[in-house]
């Protein structure tokens, strides 16, 4: 089901699509591929929206920086200095976080209008990113398919092809609050990650893969999340062809449980300590499944390169339950 959600400054229409199955309702916008809301029941059957979002399009246009619920690309996370080498050439990107490129630049995929078509139990978003957009090489054809399975789990599957060598790293930037409102302070997190990528003051990885044992990054056993995180955790499973469960987020008060399964090798844990009005710091927790930050400048990290004739594929599944 789709409906008009608003219009952009150039008059282009933005539509909202509603997906419903197995007691779960998800709303997605054609602008930015944004997951506007996810409504799921608690242990007593009471339904609440468990992602942060704005009620109208004007909220997303006025407050783009949190990337609420958005489809992030061409490159999720940070690229140091807004530059990377590829095949003997250095590409200069838009620098939108100091000297770094963050989440695809000033006008990444989160600020673009996508074509949307219905598919069985969901929708498919498509877009062509032209060569040179935000400095990235290659004409990139991208699809993102959002579906609900028989259990009500939300699947987001991405594909991309290019006509020239490039780099690709896609994710969804939803902020989860399983209470439905207030703080996520009591949420408990378990992550199948024995290592993480330490960062410098600019949040760019040092290149090391450090053990989480004995550090505040150890979520191998469920514990309260706390605050102060904007870091990539190295998932033990590595890159896989099908999604593998890597995370569980639990709200003891409502009983709601979010599980995250993915094909990706990393997960960016962001506790939104600097989230601004109208939301309070710590009002949501982002669990961004992706390749590592600054991978194009780090040959030791799993590659984000994509070449003509290859197909980029990535899938993440968000499962919902209560206990």
Q: Read out DSSP for 12-48?
A: -EEEEEEEEETTEEEEEESBTT-EEEEEEE-TTS-EE
Q: Give the per-residue pLDDT at 288.
A: 98
Instruction: Tell me the domain boundaries of the chain.
Output: 2-322
Look up the CATH number of domain 2-322. Answer: 2.70.98.10
Is the pTM for the entire model greater than 0.85?
A: yes
Q: Is 211 a catalytic residue?
A: no
Q: Is 278 helix (H, G, I), strand (E, B) or coil?
A: coil
Q: Is 288 a catalytic residue?
A: yes
Kindly state the average pLDDT of the residues 290-297. 98
Kindly state the average pLDDT of the residues 237-257. 98
Q: Give the per-residue pLDDT at 224.
A: 98
Tell me: pLDDT of 276 over 90: no
Q: Which is the catalytic residue, given 155, 173, 187, 231?
A: 173
pLDDT band at 277 (very low <50, low <70, confident <90, very high): confident
Quick one: tokens of 279? Answer: 């939301």
Quick one: tokens of 2? Answer: 């789709």
pLDDT in tens, 203-228: 999 999 999 999 999 999 999 999 99
- Enumerate residues 6+ apart whose C-beta is below 8 A from 147: 19, 119, 120, 121, 122, 123, 154, 155, 157
pLDDT in tens, 168-205: 999 999 999 999 999 999 999 999 999 999 999 999 99
Q: Give the per-residue pLDDT at 25.
A: 98
Q: Give the per-residue pLDDT at 53.
A: 98
- Helix ranges (H only) for 27-147 are 57-62
Question: What gap in Å lies between CA 108 and CA 129, rounded to an integer?
Answer: 10
Q: Which is the catalytic residue, given 133, 248, 264, 288?
A: 288
pLDDT in tens, 91-131: 999 999 999 999 999 999 999 999 999 999 999 999 999 99
Kindly state the average pLDDT of the residues 304-322. 98
Q: Number of C-alpha atoms within 13 angstroms, CB side, residue 188?
A: 12
Mean pLDDT over each residue of the chain, to the nearest integer: 98
Q: Quick one: how many helices (H) and strands (E) in the chain?
A: 1, 28
Closest CA to 108 of 13, 175, 162, 32: 32
């Amino acid at each position: 089901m789709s409906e008009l959600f608003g219009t952009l400054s150039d008059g282009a229409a933005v539509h909202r699509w509603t997906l419903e199955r197995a007691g779960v309702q998800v709303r997605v916008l054609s602008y930015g591929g944004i997951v506007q809301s996810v409504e799921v029941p608690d242990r007593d059957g009471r339904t609440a929206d468990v992602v942060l979002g704005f009620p109208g399009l004007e909220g997303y246009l006025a407050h783009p920086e949190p990337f609420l619920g958005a489809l992030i690309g061409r490159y999720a996370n940070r690229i140091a200095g807004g530059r990377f080498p590829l095949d003997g050439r250095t590409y200069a990107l838009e620098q939108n976080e100091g000297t770094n490129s963050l989440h695809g630049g000033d006008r990444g995929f989160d600020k673009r209008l996508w074509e949307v078509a219905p598919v069985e139990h969901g929708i498919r978003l498509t877009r062509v990113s032209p060569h040179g957009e935000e400095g990235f090489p290659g004409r990139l054809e991208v699809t993102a398919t959002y579906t609900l399975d028989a259990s009500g789990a939300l699947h987001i599957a991405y594909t991309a092809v290019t006509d020239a060598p490039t780099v690709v790293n896609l994710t969804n930037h939803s902020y989860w609050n399983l209470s439905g409102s207030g703080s996520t302070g009591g949420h408990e997190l378990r992550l199948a990650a024995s290592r993480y990528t330490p960062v410098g003051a600019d949040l760019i990885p040092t290149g090391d893969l450090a053990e989480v044992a004995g550090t505040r990054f150890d979520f191998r056993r469920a514990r309260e999340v706390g605050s102060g995180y904007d870091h990539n955790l190295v998932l033990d499973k590595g890159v896989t062809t099908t999604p593998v469960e890597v995370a569980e987020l639990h709200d003891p008060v409502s009983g709601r449980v979010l599980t995250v399964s993915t094909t990706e090798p990393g997960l960016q844990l962001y506790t939104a300590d600097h989230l601004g009005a109208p939301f309070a710091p710590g009002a949501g927790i982002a669990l961004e499944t992706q390749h590592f930050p600054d991978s194009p400048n780090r040959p030791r990290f799993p590659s984000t390169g994509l070449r003509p004739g290859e197909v980029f594929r990535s899938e993440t599944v968000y499962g919902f339950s209560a206990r």
